Structure 1
Amino acid sequence: MWRVWGLEASVVVTKPESIQSARSIIDERLREIDLACSRFRNDSEIRAFENAGGMPVEVSSTLARLIRTALDGAERTDGAVDPTIGAAVVALGYDRDFALIEGRDVPIKTSFVSTPQWTSVRLDGQTVTVPSGVQLDLGATAKALAADECACAVSMSLDCGVLVCLGGDIATAGPAPDGGWIVLVQDGHDAPADTVAIPGGTSIATSSTRKRRWSQNGRHVHHIVDPRSGTSVDAAWQTVTVGADSCVSANLASTACIVRGFEGARDLLNTGLPARLVDRAGVVRLLNGWPTDDAVGTGRREP
């Protein structure tokens, strides 16, 4: 386990002798993605849009892929997961690496003004046009895509099964161990927990309002933003975990559910994706045959 992007990362492979090679592959891919889309690096590609004045910008294939994933995600979630919330996130004080604001009170620096929605961003091959004043934040999909791509790269390069975990985003590729990949689902040591077994080639993503929290002028805020208001979501669910065939799909579903609240739970039910929702009171609700093997926590549970 190691720290990257302000979160815990880990990798497990079915060939123990390949673990160091797996870590090298992952580190290289994460550096490439960070250089493309980090909001906190002065030399990242995404910062180029700040001075483009709404003019088209030619970007790398990596950033184009990240933006395409974000725009596709916005379309799939009907705008609940919107990559044009960057200005809102900055207005909330999340304008630097999270370690620099965690546990601190951050003053209001700017007033949030509604920005154009994701449909205002144009992507033509590797040419991207972002309206002047609009700031992209790809965090909702970039981490999940990174998990998917890292797992695929390790499995293909080393001919093994692999599980990659980046914070709450878990992707697998290749053959799983006998009995599947055993994953602990728990959002903090004091939260209800489950262990689940997932087959190779599937993913789990968790979206949470319990982590990445800070205060702004004495008011608690968190990183999941409602695009309609530009403020932290007043969440019905403190944690949502979803299983899917890719980490991107799982993360889109879990994040959209938190943004939409009870309506989001109904949407999840209709998707058929297995999901585990924890409400404000710590009550766990399971949807669509969530694959619980054994409850290892003390939280209350409701069907």
Structure 2
Amino acid sequence: MKAEEWPVWGTTARVVVTEPSTLPAARVLIESMLSEIDLACSRFRPDSELMAAGRSSGPVQVSPLLATLVEVALRAAEDSDGAVDPTVGNALCALGYDRDLSIVDVDGLAVTVKIAGWRSVTLSGNTLTLPKDTVLDLGATAKAFAADCCARLVADALDTGVLVSLGGDIATAGPAPHGWQVLVQDRDDDPSCVVTMPAGKAIATSSTRSRQWRRGDRLLHHILDPRTCQPAPRMWRCVTVVADNCTDANTLTTAALVNGNQALTMLREHNVPARLVAADGSVRTLGGWP
């Protein structure tokens, strides 16, 4: 196997291939795909298609890519009973997360605003209708979906087994006779473990510690509870789930952080291998983990 990594979207992209000669081409394919997705749905660039759609009044025609990304986000909202809501963009902006975390303004107040709710977003084919002044945030699904897309793209185009990691979102595709060994650890001071994941599976980790910023005297994180428009209580440091695809895995990990003390019940209902690190550092596992 051969690997390469580089910075992207405030995190690290990493690609591992089972056929070493395919690595340069794999990186080119992944960088191209990530660039397309960024231009389609970034909340941090005014020229993105998503931000342009938010400035429009009434229905707007969007590209097939953006329509797919919004559809994925709405499906995640429905599957999570609203715990993963793409309309929290306004709330994140009001809390100060209106730009890349490396340049977030630490001065000022963290304001609470109401959100329209995911049911107020309408998508019919490529026609998107948003409530007035609504900013969508697709971060809870777009990165995981990108990992899924990149893994499938590389495997199909280059005839290789591949693992694509975008921060805590990891997707695999193609053959890997011995599976993939993955280190599961959010922060350096968190408990760690190594799991062997079958080829074609995905694993995602969501955290209340990795994407943090300070606003005045408050230390905030990016997983918002749509019911309060505030960061979810830090009952869990992080949650990790293995699933058939990274999008589903990340939907469950995000929803678990939002659901707090109901996370274990929710994950058991979905019957997925899961690992939860509590605020005190203790570890809970279920669903046959690892």
User: Is TM (by shorter chain) over 0.5?
Assistant: yes
Read off the aligned partner of 2:159 and give its amino acid letter: D
Aligned equivalents of 1:113, 1:49: Cα separation in 2 = 21
Which residue of 2 is the match for residue 108 of structure 1? 109
Read off the aligned partner of 1:85 and give its amino acid letter: V
Residues 159-198 of structure 1 correspond to what in structure 2 (within 5 A)?
159-178=159-178, 180-198=179-197
TM-score by length of 1: 0.92
Aligned equivalents of 2:226, 2:154: Cα separation in 1 = 35
| Deviation string, structure 1 residues 15-46 (Cα, Å, up to 9, x no partner) | 00100000000000000000000011111001
Aligned equivalents of 1:106, 1:259: Cα separation in 2 = 26
Unaligned runs of 5+ in 2: none
Aligned equivalents of 1:241, 1:113: Cα separation in 2 = 30
Aligned equivalents of 1:184, 1:23: Cα separation in 2 = 22
Which residue of 1 is the match for residue 130 of structure 2? 130
Aligned equivalents of 1:248, 1:10: Cα separation in 2 = 17
SS at match of 1:276: strand
Read off the aligned partner of 2:137 and give its amino acid letter: D
- Work out whether residues 76 and 141 of structure 2, in 8 Å CA contact, stay in contact via their aligned partners in 1: yes
RMSD: 1.0
Aligned equivalents of 2:209, 2:275: Cα separation in 1 = 15
Residues 201-280 of structure 1 correspond to what in structure 2 (within 5 A)?
201-280=200-279
SS at match of 1:266: helix
- The yes-or-no answer on 1:151 pairing with 2:151 is yes
- Work out whether residues 14 and 177 of structure 1, in 8 Å CA contact, stay in contact via their aligned partners in 2: no
- The yes-or-no answer on 1:4 pairing with 2:8 is yes
SS at match of 1:142: helix
Read off the aligned partner of 1:105 and give its amino acid letter: V
- The yes-or-no answer on 1:18 pairing with 2:34 is no
Displacement of 1:71 after TM fit? 0.2
Displacement of 1:106 after TM fit? 3.7
- Work out whether residues 241 and 275 of structure 1, in 8 Å CA contact, stay in contact via their aligned partners in 2: yes
Displacement of 1:107 after TM fit? 1.7
Read off the aligned partner of 2:117 and give its amino acid letter: Q
Read off the aligned partner of 2:135 and give its amino acid letter: Q
| Deviation string, structure 1 residues 197-242 (Cα, Å, up to 9, x no partner) | 0011100000001111111111110000000001111121110000
- The yes-or-no answer on 1:39 pairing with 2:43 is yes
| Deviation string, structure 1 residues 51-76 (Cα, Å, up to 9, x no partner) | 213x0011011100000000000000
Over 3 Å off, 4+ runs: none
Aligned equivalents of 2:54, 2:264: Cα separation in 1 = 36
Displacement of 1:136 after TM fit? 0.4
Moved more, 138-147 or 115-124: 115-124
- Work out whether residues 115 and 229 of structure 2, in 8 Å CA contact, stay in contact via their aligned partners in 1: no
The percent identity for this pair of structures is 53
Q: 1:49 aligns with which of 50, 53, 65?
A: 53
SS at match of 1:108: coil
Aligned equivalents of 2:287, 2:34: Cα separation in 1 = 33
Aligned equivalents of 2:99, 2:113: Cα separation in 1 = 20
- Work out whether residues 170 and 204 of structure 2, in 8 Å CA contact, stay in contact via their aligned partners in 1: yes
Aligned equivalents of 1:151, 1:264: Cα separation in 2 = 29
- Work out whether residues 225 and 231 of structure 1, in 8 Å CA contact, stay in contact via their aligned partners in 2: yes
Aligned equivalents of 2:9, 2:153: Cα separation in 1 = 20
Which residue of 1 is the match for residue 95 of structure 2? 92
Displacement of 1:114 after TM fit? 1.3
Unaligned runs of 5+ in 1: 292-303
Displacement of 1:177 after TM fit? 3.9
| Deviation string, structure 1 residues 61-107 (Cα, Å, up to 9, x no partner) | 11000000000000000000000000000011000011112xx6242
Aligned equivalents of 1:177, 1:218: Cα separation in 2 = 51
- Work out whether residues 54 and 130 of structure 2, in 8 Å CA contact, stay in contact via their aligned partners in 1: no
Aligned equivalents of 2:177, 2:224: Cα separation in 1 = 37
